[in-house]
Amino acid sequence: MNNINLQLYSFGFECNLSLLDKIKCAGEMGYAGVEFARGYEELPVEQVKKALDDAGVKAVSAHVALDFMEQDLPYLAKLGVKFVACPMAPFNTAEEAKELAEDLNKFGQMAKQYGITIGYHNHTGEFYQDQGKYLMDYLIENTDPETVAFEIDCGWASAAGINPVEYINQHAGRIAGIHIKENGGVIGADKPQSRHEAPNHPKFELDEDGKPIIPPEFKKMMEEREKLNVPQGSGIVDWKAVKAAADAQREGVIYVVEREASYGGKGRIDCLKEDIAWLKENL
């Protein structure tokens, strides 16, 4: 497998590289393309295009929240992006899934003029059930297959207890992208928030230096989740079967490495180098 792309979010929040430097680094590591997580807002499109050309990588896709979708589509089209996915959105019932589907359909029609397909990327909460059915199923079933497709994050799906291969087969034709996120265990589906309630972000007290004081139980939970990000090829996902299923159901499926955390005390870039090396050798 050679056509492997990198979600730029994978560099992590502690990375000091600029967006242009991340593009260059992705090319140096051997990635064929990148998936943006915004960060280009203040940059002229010509500058980003030059960085892509210089690095020898393509702009294959992007993650854009619904609030920024309309304003970002023209910019991303100029970069050559063909798939723009909402990275996450709150919804916790069948009805709310249908409401979100309406939003995706609206942006799908809007993106059509740019030759862009709109998508949605899952975490674990999309596999929470309402009326005996996954929320993700309601979302897929109520979106227009002509303009809306999906990016299955196999790491989060398997963490929720879903077999990614079976899920891809169940929704054949609708899966335009695969997030290659290695996962070492099952934690179940998080209960998602309602799209009609204010976001319930955790609030922490600050120490005398103004840094957040992380409660032990929250820190433990985050550490356990980071441990799920094991080295590529050592987790619970059968990547050969995933690729076979994805390629069989739709042409031009994009494969994007996304890493949430490092492992073994290594730096993030070293982990990303090992990720692509394993994929090129084994898929």
CA angle 252, 277, 255 (to 5 degrees): 20
- For 182-230, the pLDDT digits (tens) are 999 999 999 999 999 988 777 788 888 887 888 888 888 878 888 899 9
Full domain range(s) for residue 113: 5-199+229-282
Do the domain assignments include residue 124? yes
Do the domain assignments include residue 183? yes
Domain count, the chain: 1
Give me the residue label for tokens 């939003």. Answer: 103
- Cβ partners under 8 Å of residue 188, min gap 6: 124, 160, 161
Q: Position 282: which residue type?
A: N
Do the domain assignments include residue 270? yes
- For 10-21, the pLDDT digits (tens) are 999 889 999 999
Do the domain assignments include residue 217? no
Do the domain assignments include residue 163? yes
Contact present, 258 and 9 (Cβ < 8 Å) = yes
For β-strands 129-130 and 133-134, DSSP reports them as: antiparallel
Q: Position 222: which residue type?
A: M
Give me the residue label for tokens 């492997």. Answer: 4
Burial class (CB in 10 A: 0-12, 13-18, 19+), 142: middle
The neighbouring-strand residues paired with 6 are 34, 257
- Cβ partners under 8 Å of residue 177, min gap 6: 61, 83, 85, 119, 121, 149, 150, 151, 152, 253, 254, 255, 256
The size of the chain, in residues, is 283
pLDDT score recorded for residue 181:
97
Question: Looking at residue 32, which CATH number applies to its domain?
Answer: 3.20.20.150
State the average pLDDT for the chain: 96
Do the domain assignments include residue 154? yes
Give the rounded distance of the alpha carbon of 165 from its chain centre: 17
- For 126-183, the pLDDT digits (tens) are 999 999 999 999 999 999 999 999 999 999 999 999 999 999 999 999 999 999 999 9
pLDDT score recorded for residue 110:
98
Residue 178 in 3-state DSSP?
strand
Do the domain assignments include residue 273? yes
pTM of the model: 0.94
Do the domain assignments include residue 61? yes
CA count, 13 A, side-chain hemisphere, 112:
12
